[in-house]
Structure 1
């Protein structure tokens, strides 16, 4: 049997459960790209709606109405007005939130008047029931003239019925309603008639949108001028027409709801969500609770990850020691132990922390608390040139700056969006976590305050907070230099509190661990192997001179052979290509308290910050005799030329601050260039962040040494 393909666009208001429905319908058959010419995510996936009929479902960005304001809303609008050359849906799934039905029906009514074949999926019915709202679904279906299917994507309810309705619509058993939801022609009768003479395929409502937004449509110059002349001839007023339309729609929606929806007296019932918001959004307690949540987050990352990390670290230490005993001394065994095994240990040891951090962030998002953080911080954000919506990219930046910067697209104001992009990399992403972890373990004592609060966890939290404070300071300064004048509004819909979906939390944790091991792991392994080669080989004459010098010294003093052998390995490392490069960097980084090995790590970290640990693992393995020691122990034993330890409290804190503030991520620079469509802003970002990191790290070292 030949399979039939049908294109279906999934549309709806934000926070109506669109992503859940998309994931339920498409499962793992998804792909993500960008809409042509716009940096807005384009998610699509396949779903069999009936035997032999496969739907290609395109998840369009959420929008409240057909009057777009943001870039992502324009994407949806152009698809629905058939102005997108690539996305051409045959029909629509329109998701409507039953617990906010009045607002959602505005968008539903507009879609109906576009004359698209549409199936309305009614979500959040369980929440509507908790609010005491009762909906006559069949009556609503009759009034709208389109299929209305109750669904609960989280529990997989209503999905077979939805697929059946989609299949029947594809078979043209259901068609777009013949009558308009409101009498659109009355809004501008003469202008609509004139437009339809030249564009006969347009419905009355599409004609209104041609009159309002034709400048943004793909029309040639002649047609643009034609529409302009019709507007002028009939004195078409877009603002008045839009206002009249919305009034008429809400009047009809009110009539429909009066007959088909039963709502309780709003004074009778205060929802659990509202009661909880009185506490969590309190003008004083709200901020204290927020700090407590962040405190618990970072304490948990340290506390929960400690045991698996210690186990992984111990295993690799034992493996390195065992391999060095059983393998013969040869270049390939050196490469395997000090290149591959050392590089792998630098990747896998941090997987527990990354999984726990992402798991906890997912719980905050799933429960609805993340949106409250935006609401709480809006007042503070405005003082530094941002708004509450900037908080979501900033918090996402704790995971990774690349998707965080992309999520800044939701900020309508251009200046606030640009400022958010410029400061988001100052958030401590998960790539910095391995660096912080190993340095905190090295220089901060593993003490507990009152027997429960980890000092190391407090330092970790302090680093994250320092990143936030520096970001706010930078934004406050930058807002005076970015000359974009545009009014800013902060409108945020607070989702209801829900229990986290534990399956979703576990899937996210596993996926993030996979991404870290595969994506970051590839980079770390490649750089570890390159570093092994640069650390093991050097200019022939220099290496020969070192070998000859120590051979003579061993011959003259046989009793000192073990000490001389360690000195020989150190001398060979310092005369290798890596050593020569590091020594050239040393004068620049000595004021910060760093040695040449740290200098090499700073350079390799521009590929990815987490490479720092792989670099250290390789450098200390190549120049060290004892492969049974843990990397932390090797670094703790490291000494400068004068015999003083390399990793003092001053040097360790200075290095953590450098990694906190420096722009050491090529991927971030690339995505900033793509989002701003200019190399100007990534270059500014690279210069200001590197300069800031150097100055603050130097101050920290001078104060603590």
Structure 2
């Protein structure tokens, strides 16, 4: 089979690049990091023809070949470095037809790298609504590269695009014979010196090597030294050179626009998007609509997910009961039923809620409304010392803090980026969702407020809003201690509104569910086995004493109901005497003021590996600490029946609220700490983050418990 060709997918942000990537690769995708940097690397395999496959590399969006952020520099490095394993055989540029003039600047720069190029024009329907008519053949003739009109959302133009890729792979299309502009004239002596060190580099690539010589990782130290000496020798002024280059490019672009594009007076056309924005971005109604959207999102998480959750919960309980009936009563079976299945089952039940949450978030992104949320909250961000770009990491934090913190790298101002990283984990991520769901089901009555509003949904929304406003409050405090002297600006292009791609929404839901189950499952599997062992075994002498005591009692009674009660007491006392019980009782004095018993204390410790482990830990604890008749009951029923020594219930409204507040603010996630260390290159910041979030969680939980107690 032929080796796949490397196809780099590049373009301006919001040009339709991700849509084309999904259309070409479908589910055949994977996400990793580019070597040496914490920037997402999305790759996928696309079938170009029966004889040809393409390895599609989705590079971060950028406006030009002059990078300003870590994301943009990754794109730049892949395009300039010919020695990289990701070096593209073909560059596929996605250009927004509705903003062609701006997009052509980047296109012209890519063309001058002298690599095979195809331009895919998206947003043709939007361009026509603007009164813009583009002569595709004329544009192709002027640029010297294939130009294809595509609509990835409707799969239009994809076959023609693949045909052009195949023709280039067969070397039936080459690179343009002449440069877009005369790059050689910009710095002839410098270009000659660079090309001597980097044979095969085009004039324009050599120009960029000269501009960024000190930052290019593929150059050897000796090469950098000789190129730098040439720059000094010929008095290379990169600022003047860049200005001359951009002026020449726009002069040629103006000519191309004049001969290939017909535009109406922009005042004659008012797009539907602008009319919608007049409402959704209104200074009052915009915020009111935002709150309604968020309310509906969290109401839907409960309403839509309740039915599949009940089915999964019943299936897990039935499986445990069936296995207990058909398998022999031994240690391995006990580990399987009360350890692994109880642990995994306690998390799998929340897959419907995770899928719905990610599905709705994808829906907001796909329609273009997510970008409007950033715009609406920009003013608030700037008042607390953040940049408008901080909004997207905070919003992404609702899904997971790890990629959200990584997304903060596109904030140029280092201090604003640091504050964003420090407060993002306060946003309630999807791993907190199972904890919230269990506790809300336990202590919040399922009633209607004002006859129409679901109270559990309101509480859920309140927890998410609480995390957001606490993040804003902490950011304002950090603004005082971390002085921000640099000026920063928030410039964002709002995408047009589009109908959602339901296939994309469905694909995202399935992929996120798989990631949640596999990533959480690995951790839960290990912790389940360790917890089961710690809960089933303890100091031999004490465990034997407990067994002997209850064996004597059981021999003295013939009453079946009393025997069941004694068996339950035996299981409870054995767990209290186990290694986990000893640890739990040791930390109980520290957590009891918050309304937590020693069992919750064990779950707090184990869930530091991953927050969602709290639920699986409780499932294992209450599976081990139960008799045969109640072992197959749902976790919520087992927890509802938990009592203190005096017989009073453990899970009261006060305890439930206290526990939810604790998890709303506590770090409780090793992965988040690891990525903060990697992004800040220091252990100081994650340790400070862990300490302040733990203290905040403890104090707020203590206050809430005493208010509701």
Q: Give your verdict on TM over 0.5.
A: yes
- Residue in structure 2 matched with residue 680 of structure 1 by the alignment: 684
1:602-649 deviations in Å (ceiling 9; x for gaps): 111112211212211221122222224322122111111122211111
- Residue in structure 1 matched with residue 674 of structure 2 by the alignment: 670
1:673 Cα offset (Å) = 2.4
1:408 Cα offset (Å) = 2.0
1:353 Cα offset (Å) = 1.1
1:277 Cα offset (Å) = 0.8
Distance 1:316 1:207 in 2: 63
User: After the TM superposition, which residues 129-208 of structure 1 pair with which residues of structure 2 at under 5 Å, given as runs?
Assistant: 129-188=128-187, 192=191, 201-208=200-207
- Residue in structure 2 matched with residue 11 of structure 1 by the alignment: 10
| Greater displacement, 671-680 / 204-213 | 204-213
2:657 to 653, 659, 667: 653
- Report whether the alignment pairs 1:491 with 2:495: no
- Structure 2 CA distance for partners of 1:119 and 1:424, relative to 1, 3 Å: same
- Residue in structure 1 matched with residue 588 of structure 2 by the alignment: 586
- Residue in structure 2 matched with residue 500 of structure 1 by the alignment: 500
Distance 1:179 1:327 in 2: 76
1:465 Cα offset (Å) = 0.9
- Residue in structure 2 matched with residue 62 of structure 1 by the alignment: 61
- Report whether the alignment pairs 1:703 with 2:702: no
- Structure 2 CA distance for partners of 1:324 and 1:75, relative to 1, 3 Å: closer
1:5 Cα offset (Å) = 4.8
1:9-61 deviations in Å (ceiling 9; x for gaps): 22211111112222333344434332222222223333344454443332222
Conserved 8 A contact 1:324-1:627: no
Distance 2:594 2:82 in 1: 56
Over the residues paired in the alignment, what is the CA RMSD in angstroms?
Answer: 2.5
User: After the TM superposition, which residues 86-125 of structure 1 pair with which residues of structure 2 at under 5 Å, given as runs?
Assistant: 86-125=85-124
- Residue in structure 2 matched with residue 519 of structure 1 by the alignment: 519
1:330 Cα offset (Å) = 4.4
Any idea what SS the aligned residue of 2:46 has? strand
Conserved 8 A contact 2:197-2:227: no
- Residue in structure 2 matched with residue 22 of structure 1 by the alignment: 21
1:570 Cα offset (Å) = 1.9
User: After the TM superposition, which residues 625-644 of structure 1 pair with which residues of structure 2 at under 5 Å, given as runs?
Assistant: 625=627, 626-644=630-648
Distance 2:567 2:611 in 1: 33
User: After the TM superposition, which residues 215-614 of structure 1 pair with which residues of structure 2 at under 5 Å, given as runs?
Assistant: 215-217=214-216, 218-219=218-219, 223-224=223-224, 226-232=226-232, 234-320=234-320, 329-482=329-482, 486-554=486-554, 560-614=562-616
Which ranges of structure 1 fall in alignment gaps of 5 or more residues? none
- Structure 2 CA distance for partners of 1:216 and 1:12, relative to 1, 3 Å: same
Conserved 8 A contact 1:324-1:337: yes
Across the two proteins, how many residue pairs are aligned to each other? 704
Which ranges of structure 2 fall in alignment gaps of 5 or more residues? none
Distance 1:226 1:622 in 2: 70
- Structure 2 CA distance for partners of 1:324 and 1:176, relative to 1, 3 Å: closer
1:322 Cα offset (Å) = 5.9
Conserved 8 A contact 1:78-1:84: no
Distance 2:584 2:328 in 1: 30
Conserved 8 A contact 2:537-2:579: yes
Conserved 8 A contact 2:377-2:388: yes
Distance 2:49 2:443 in 1: 62
Distance 2:207 2:324 in 1: 78
Distance 1:219 1:529 in 2: 49
| Greater displacement, 659-668 / 520-529 | 520-529
Distance 2:63 2:38 in 1: 20
Any idea what SS the aligned residue of 1:585 has? helix
**TM-score, reference length from structure 1:** 0.94
